[in-house]
Amino acid sequence: MGSTEQSPVLTMAELLASSGYEPACSSGPRLGIPTGLKGLDAAMGGLEPGTLTVLASRPGLGRSTLLQNICQWNAGGTFLRGFPKAEEREAVPVLFASAEQSPEQIMARALSAAARVGRDHIRSGELVDEDIRRLKPAQSLLEAAPLYILAPAVFTDGQLVEHARHLVRERQVQLVGVDGLEAMGPDLSLGQAARALKTLARELAAPVIVTASLWAVSRRPHWRPALEDLHDEVAFAADTVVLVHREEAYDRTARPMEADLMVAKARSARPAIAADIAFQPHYARFSDIVAA
């Protein structure tokens, strides 16, 4: 009796048919899932299914905020074209996993970014009438967003994989964000953790984004980071590496409230810098700088 198991070997004809690819010369570049930042999408081409993207920086420069912004924007939990009108777009179900933040911290960041109300006001409960006016529709927007939160104190082996598989199967999750590569498990090295996430992305056919620390302190002009500052095994496993840099963190007079998102590695695009990005720490929010 012959085996019915499907061969993992594909012809190019089968590969093209399964991908649904059709040549197009007038529809613009083919993008993966967008990040919500036009400058970053132009530099990296979006988040492609089955790939691992690493957001890396020195501490305190906003990589966790950037990751949560991307996840929240895709799930439809962010107002864009003028508060309180939400942009018309199809929400993407997202899993956001974090061992770096408590559920309460995640909630405060989400509300702050959506409503553009200061995080300090939300945490302290000292809200003015305008804050309350903005928070009510933001809360309704977030309640309806297909954004699933996993926030344990520490990830156990297989926990993230188990939840991700379940949510892809039952809730059609299309994007997985992981805040804290270093917290992936006490028995995993950074390289093993990165390879495990890359395997998960391939298995789920969904993009996985993870935050990671830069190990080396840059001595370059304006303290700009480079790919070599990231752990070698993590850089090797990643399909795309985005370095988060803010000159203001080192020189208070340099480019206040601006950020550079440096695409230092990209398998499907050239390295580039998305420079026209605003950083609003009080709102836990990155956004495109709109030309006057």
Q: What is the pLDDT of residues 232-250, one digit of tens each?
A: 999 999 999 999 999 998 8
Give the pLDDT band (50/70/90) at residue 80: very low
Torsion angle of C-alpha atoms 259, 66, 189, 148, degrees rounded to 10: 180
Q: Is the pLDDT of residue 107 over 60?
A: yes
| CA angle at 130 for the pair 129 and 136, rounded to the nearest 5° | 90
pLDDT, residue 250, reads 87
User: What's the farthest any 2 CA atoms get from each other in the chain?
Assistant: 75
pTM comes to: 0.87
Is residue 208 within 8 Å of 185, Cβ to Cβ? no
Report how far residue 269's alpha carbon sits from residue 132's, in angstroms, rounded to the nearest whole number. 43
Task: Write out the chain in H/E/C secondary structure.
Answer: CCCCCCCCCCCHHHHHHHHCCCCCCCCCCCCCECCCCHHHHHHHCCECCCCEEEEEECCCCCHHHHHHHHHHHHCCCCCCCCCCCCCCCCCCCEEEEECCCCHHHHHHHHHHHHHCCCHHHHHHCCCCHHHHHHHHHHHHHHHHCCEEEECCCCCCCCHHHHHHHHHHHHHCCCEEEEECHHHCCCCCCHHHHHHHHHHHHHHHCCCEEEEEECCCCCCCHHHCCCHHHCCHHHHHHCCEEEEEECHHHCCCCCCCCEEEEEEEEECCCCCEEEEEEEEEHHHCEEEECCCC
Report how far residue 15's alpha carbon sits from residue 172's, in angstroms, rounded to the nearest whole number. 23
Q: Is the pLDDT of residue 216 over 80?
A: no
pLDDT, residue 84, reads 46
Mean pLDDT of the region 266-276 = 79
Report how far residue 217's alpha carbon sits from residue 123's, in angstroms, rounded to the nearest whole number. 32
pLDDT, residue 83, reads 45
pLDDT, residue 155, reads 78
Paired strand residues for 245 = 260
Q: What tokens does 140 get?
A: 């309704």
